[in-house]
Structure 1
Amino acid sequence: MRYRTIRKQLLTTILISALTMCAIPVNSAMTGEADTLYQEACTAEHQQDLKGAIEKLEKAIEVSGGDSMLYTKLAGIYTEIDEFDKALDAYNKVLKLKPDDSFVYISIGSIYENQGKYKEALVAYSKALDIFPEYKYNYFNIANVQYQLRNYKEAIKNYNMFLDTYPQHIESRENLAASYTATKDYTNASAQYKIIYEKNPDNFKNFAEYGIALLNTNESEKAVEMLERAIEKDAENYSAHLALAQAYQDLGKNDLSYEQYQVVLKNVPNLNTVRLDYADLLATMNKNTEAIEQYNMYIKAYPNDINGYKSIAAIYKELGNYDKAIENYSIAITKDGNDINLKKDIANCYHNKKDYANALKYYDEILTAQPDDYDVKVNKAIALHALKKYDDAITLYQNLLSTKSDKTLQNNLNDALVSRGHEFVASENYGKAIEDFKSAIKGGYTDGYVYYGLARAYRATGNNTKASENYEKAISIDPDKTVYSAEYSDFISSLYKPKVNVQSTQGDSKDLPAINLTLDNVEENAVNEVKTQTNVKSTSVTMKQNEDFILEGDKNYKSNNYDAAVKNYQDALQLVPNDAVTLLKIGNIYKIKEDNTKAVNYYQKSIIVNPDYTDGWFNLGLAYANENNLIESQKSFEKVIALDPDYNFGYAYYALGMALEHQGKKPEAIKNYKLFIKHNNDKEMVNTVQTKIKQLQ
């Protein structure tokens, strides 16, 4: 709110004016000569000869020995020519003669007020009020100087006292509204502006102030009307532009709001207070880069305001940049360590970046303050699960499910039970393993891996009937899991040997499945299901190592560190040997290194592991083409098309056409080129192939 300057008239009433009239009071003790000089002074004043009037009055005072009327008249003229010190000196001489003259105090107060000496003015006006409380206009004088002294509470009281007597006085009502605004009492400010507007809408001039008051009372539609009028009258009123931007923002008219913020910041670029609201608007409009820039400018200007850090962290969180989100949330927490919502936000970020240990630290802090927070307990259970703290996770899942039923939580519990069951198998605690597997099945777990675990536990305890039964269930549910059938075959063979070998044909008995944990959205009160994601059920530890090797390999591949990438991928294959995608990645590296023999070898391995792997067949075809082995190249591309006629927007047809063309099989080549055109929308490529067809015809 701009600091409002109160307008003030020096002499506000007829009573004060009477002090300077030239008529001599009945009780005046003025001599004849002094009277003549006084009348001459009045004439000179009327003729605007103020210097002559002063000379006449000074002679009259000298002749009469001093008269209050003469000093009052002299003080009035000094005031007219802005000789305020001399005017005050004359008024003080009047007070020596007439110490209870309230209007002299009012005149003194008026001079001090115009000099900006508001404390002295208040003393003078207050003295006048003590002497003559019936003079209600003085409340206006007092309220004005109290406003200037920023004593808004007292100013409001005295403006209201004045308006009780003079309700039509517009200036005092404007000042009262400004006082309410200064105390952020926008409801009363709006009410006062409404009275002024409705009494005389054609001459109303406080559109900006009224609009700002309406904005702060959530009357945004009406605020827009007033603020637009304010800008029509004064296009350079940037307070009105800013308030209009915020009103539009409240109404969801983001494009209009954006335009107003642009006007404000273009003309007042150092107005950093506005950048937080502006950045919020930009974020709402998905202008995230601009929003981050504005938040940073706000933070630089106001480094101690927690809101800047919270807001920019929320943007980074939404963008998935959890490190930057955590950085800013951490600063915010140093400024308010008791903000539970802040702790939830930072915990959420740690959880999303799979830093479950740090997430768990914040979950514990939150639960210390809010022990019944259901959503935080859910997230804590998931974090414990991800950290393979199965005992604690299972206990918490069970406690939560005792509160209310939740399918996703039940699935998470089942997965934790199965994972712990396989750990028990690995540690040869078969009784507890069987209990966990059965509990998971009872809870609705249907994946074949639980029956595989039961089979291994029963096999180890010599219960061959149940072992066989559960191997068969596992295979029937997941027939593609070759480890199940391979181990079952080994189990059947072992029945005809002197000793029973409990080991898996695909790995040792400590293997457990990997879990892919995702964070529930606390705000939406949802919990994401923990799922198993691997072609062959292995231990979660093994799968984590496998994933780490692959991620490191991908990183080295992107950095052109091909030898290091091959080593990483081969390490991954030691853990999960039947991973077709990783075999393909190694083949691709050898193709880049122009070692076509090794490339073919790894592409072949990828399709042996997964005979329906179209990427493997396609790359194998390209590798054969590089060796000019057109027959095998043709077979590979035909296999791709058989598996997926729409593969890669028809490029298998194009590659097959090339192989046929180089064999001299033009009609078949043309046929496949036409099929490529049918599946592909790349106009440039289609034109190229059409030209090729014309050349072959």
Structure 2
Amino acid sequence: MANHHASPTMMQMQQHQGQVPPPPPPPPPGVQSGHFAPSHQIAAMNEAVWLQIGSFSELLRVPDEAMHAYERALQANPNSTPAMNAIGMLLKGREAFDKALEFFRAIVQLDQNNGEAWGNLGHCYLMTENLQKAYDAYQQALVNLRDPKDPMLWYGIGILYDRYGSYDYAEEAFSQVMHIQPDFEKANEIYFRLGIIYKQQSKYNQSLDCFKYIVNSPPGPLTQEDIWFQIGHVHEQQKDFDSAKAAYQRVLDHSPNHAKVLQQLGWLHHQQSNTYESQDRAIQYLEKSVGADNQDAQSWYLLGRCYMSQQKYPKAYEAYQQAVYRDGKNPTFWCSIGVLYYQINQYRDALDAYSRAIRLNPYISEVWYDLV
């Protein structure tokens, strides 16, 4: 059998022929001898470049190009939290909250101590009406932020407490925003929300201060007429009917068919005096209100109340029927129908109407008072 010998190497062959090439040049700094930069280093460089391009595109106000760049950064590094955060912020700015929260959620899964991401996640949950998850996320943000003085964070917390009806906490959060940043971009919206909160708390003077502060520059989509309406309503709660009428008239000067203002003015005249003239004026306003918006059950109900005060029972019955047709589950409407039937001596019908009211709300005191 023939003997097989190992094949000579290329170096051995070249040495044998006396053609030894010079040694290769040394590798660049930072690169290990014998091979090029590892692929993860290239990916990191690509990520950094695309992040820079995205940031620059945002400065140039071309968000679509920025989004594309951040997506390329995420392709280079699927765990790039800066890219995820940038995409989430762009989506949040577009009010695409459902999509944005996916990126912020991915960040906190990678880094549970990222307070900024928790805050943004809380805001997205809030805007998608997931209040419990918003509360949990905001709690995590407050725990993990070293210095939680982000006005947007406290703004979101204020809205959350407002939605829950926790007005004291909401007031505290909104006040914190204005303390941190008096020129906050949503300052006028905060003053409007504080005005509503103070009205709910019967702090009428503070409520008026807030509304009057923003009446000439209301937060969108609200208009000056919306703010004057609130001012009128606060004066009405204070029993300052003349000031309330003046504020409501400011609205009608600009929008003569403003259904809610016509409703409020009608009820004001009804409350202010029992004279026939005052009740007649109230009816005029309320008839104009239902003409402007005939789907508002409250306007029909108040119109019925005014007709009752003038003992115009057929017209009162018709107005009450219109109210019930639009909101058949309102116990107050059925109670008033019971009063009407009682006044015209239809006692069995009155009892039926009262029974309906009680079934809808067993604790409605007006019914039990009328039944005594």
Tell me the TM-score normalised to structure 1 length.
0.34
The aligned counterpart of 1:557 is none
Shift of 1:219: 3.4
Amino acid across the alignment from 2:225: Y
Residue by residue over 1:286-313, the C-alpha shift from the partner in whole angstroms, topping out at 9 and shown as x without a partner, is 3322222223333452333322211121
Report what 1:391 is aligned to. Answer: 242
Matches within 5 A, 1:471-490: 471=311, 474-479=312-317
The alpha-carbon distance between structure 1 residues 439 and 324, as it changes in their structure 2 partners (threshold 3 A), is: same
Corresponding residue number in structure 1 for 2:33: none
Question: Residue 475 of structure 1 aligns to which amino acid in structure 2?
Answer: Y
1:610 aligns with 2:339: no
Alignment of 1:50-129 (within 5 A): none
Query: Is the alpha carbon distance of 1:415 and 1:399 closer, same or farther for their aligned partners in structure 2, counting shifts above 3 Å?
Result: same
Contact 2:116-2:141 at 8 Å conserved across structures: yes
Q: State the Cα deviation string for residues 365-415 of structure 1 (Å, max 9, x = none).
A: 442564684322211211222343323323332343234412331221121
Query: Is 2:135 aligned against 1:292?
Result: yes
What is the number of equivalent residue pairs in this alignment? 271
> Structure 1 pair 238/396, CA: closer, same or farther in 2 (3 Å)?
closer
Please give the alpha-carbon distance, in whole angstroms, between the structure 1 residues aligned to 2:357 and 2:348.
6
Shift of 1:217: 4.1
Of residues 311, 316, 320, the one that matches 2:156 is 311
Q: Alignment partner for residue 535 of structure 1, among 332, 335, 346?
A: 335
Q: Does 1:374 align with 2:225?
A: yes
Residue range with higher mean Cα deviation, 335-344 or 311-320:
335-344
Provide the residue aligned with 1:416 in structure 2: 268
Partner of 1:610, secondary structure, is helix
Whichever of the two has the greater Rg, that structure is 1
Distance 2:356 2:267 in 1: 32
The answer to whether the 8 Å contact 2:228/2:250 transfers is no
C-alpha distance 438-296 of structure 1, shift in aligned 2 (>3 A): same
Contact 1:359–1:383 (8 Å) recurs in 2: yes
CA contact (8 A) 2:225 2:250 kept: no
Contact 2:108 2:114 in 1 (8 A): yes
Say if 2:80 is the partner of 1:237. yes
* 1:504-563 deviation per Cα after TM superposition (whole angstroms, max 9, x unaligned): xxxxxxxxxxxxxxxxxxxxxxxxxxxx957349xxxxxxxxxxxxxxxxxxxxxxxxxx
Alpha-carbon distance in structure 2 between the residues aligned to 1:371 and 1:229: 45
Number of the residue aligned with 1:186: none
The more displaced of 331-340 and 396-405 is 331-340
Mapping 1:562-581, distance limit 5 Å: none
Q: Flag the 1:334–1:420 CA change in 2: closer, same or farther, 3 A.
A: same
Report the aligned-residue RMSD. 4.0
2:285 pairs with 1:447: no
Q: After superposition, what is the alpha-carbon deviation per residue over 1:623-675, rounded to whole angstroms, capped at 9, x for unaligned?
A: xxxxxxxxxxxxxxxxxxxxxxxxxxxxxxxxxxxxxxxxxxxxxxxxxxxxx
8 A Cα contact 1:224 1:248, kept in partner: no
- Structure 1 295/218 Cα, relative in aligned 2: closer, same or farther at 3 Å? farther
Cα offset for 1:344?
Answer: 0.9
Q: Structure 2: how far apart are the matches of 1:304 and 1:208?
A: 27
8 Å CA contact retained: 2:283, 2:303: no
Matched position secondary structure for 1:611: helix
Alignment-mate amino acid for residue 447 of structure 1 = L
The one-letter amino acid of 1:440's match is: A
User: Amino acid of the residue matched to residue 297 of structure 1?
Assistant: Q
* Match of residue 214 from structure 1: 57
Which amino acid is the alignment partner of residue 176 of structure 2? I
Q: Relative contact order, CA 8 A, sep 6+: which one is greater?
A: 2
Contact 2:334 2:353 in 1 (8 A): no
Amino acid at match of 1:438: D
- Residues 303, 533 of structure 1: alpha-carbon distance in 2 compared, 3 angstrom cutoff: farther
The residue identity in structure 2 corresponding to 1:611 is D
- Deviation string 1:188-247 (CA, Å, 9 cap, x unpaired) is xxxxxxxxxxxxxxx966123223333454434333433333333334433223223334
Aligned-partner Cα distance in 2 for 1:617–1:394:
35
User: What's the CA shift string for 1:556-591, capped at 9, x where partnerless?
Assistant: xxxxxxxxxxxxxxxxxxxxx979xxxxxxxxxxxx
Distance 1:217 1:336 in 2: 26
**Distance (Å, rounded) in 1 between the aligned partners of 2:61 and 2:236:** 47
SS in 1 for 2:112: coil
Out of 318, 321, 325, which is 2:170 matched to? 325
**Using a 3 Å threshold, how does the CA distance of structure 1 residues 391 and 298 change in structure 2: closer, same or farther?**
same
1:260-275 residue pairs with structure 2 within 5 A?
Answer: 260-275=103-118
Q: Counterpart in 1 of 2:197?
A: 349
CA 1:321 to 1:417, structure 2 compared with 1: closer, same or farther past 3 Å? Answer: same
Query: 1:327 and 1:612, CA in 2 relative to 1: closer, same or farther beyond 3 A?
Result: same
* 2:169 pairs with 1:363: no
Q: Deviations over 1:315-367 (max 9, x none)?
A: 3334554444233223334445674432211112344x4x3x32552223442
In 2, Cα distance between the equivalents of 1:333 and 1:407?
34
Point out where structure 2 has 5 or more consecutive residues left out of the alignment: 1-44, 218-223, 288-301, 320-331, 341-346, 360-372
The 3 A distance-change label for structure 1 pair 332 and 223 is closer
**Alpha-carbon spacing, 1:534–1:226, altered in 2? closer, same or farther (3 Å):** same
Counterpart-to-counterpart distance in 1, 2:88 and 2:357: 58
Deviation at 1:611, TM superposition (A): 2.9
Q: Which letter does structure 1 place at the counterpart of 2:189?
A: N
* Cα distance in 2 between the residues matched to 1:318 and 1:298: 19
* 1:196-207 mapped onto 2 (5 Å cutoff): 206-207=49-50
Matched-pair contact (CA < 8 Å) for 1:220–1:251: no
Offset, 1:447: 3.0
Unaligned regions of 5+ residues in structure 1, if any?
Answer: 1-202, 423-432, 454-469, 482-531, 538-576, 580-605, 619-697
**Match for 2:251: what amino acid?**
L
Percent identity for Structure 1 against Structure 2 = 14
Distance 1:277 1:218, change over 3 A: farther
Contact 2:334 2:356 in 1 (8 A): no
Give 1:343's aligned amino acid: Y
Task: Please give the alpha-carbon distance, in whole angstroms, between the structure 2 residues aligned to 1:340 and 1:251.
Answer: 21
Q: Per the alignment, do residues 435 and 609 of structure 1 end up closer, same or farther by CA in structure 2, a change over 3 Å counting?
A: closer
Contact 1:282 1:291 in 2 (8 A): yes
Is the alpha carbon distance of 1:220 and 1:390 closer, same or farther for their aligned partners in structure 2, counting shifts above 3 Å?
same
Question: Residues 271 and 217 of structure 1: is their aligned pair in 2 closer, same or farther, counting only changes over 3 Å?
Answer: farther
Give the structure 1 partner of residue 23 of structure 2: none
Residue type of the partner of 2:52?
A: E
Letter in 2 for 1:388: K
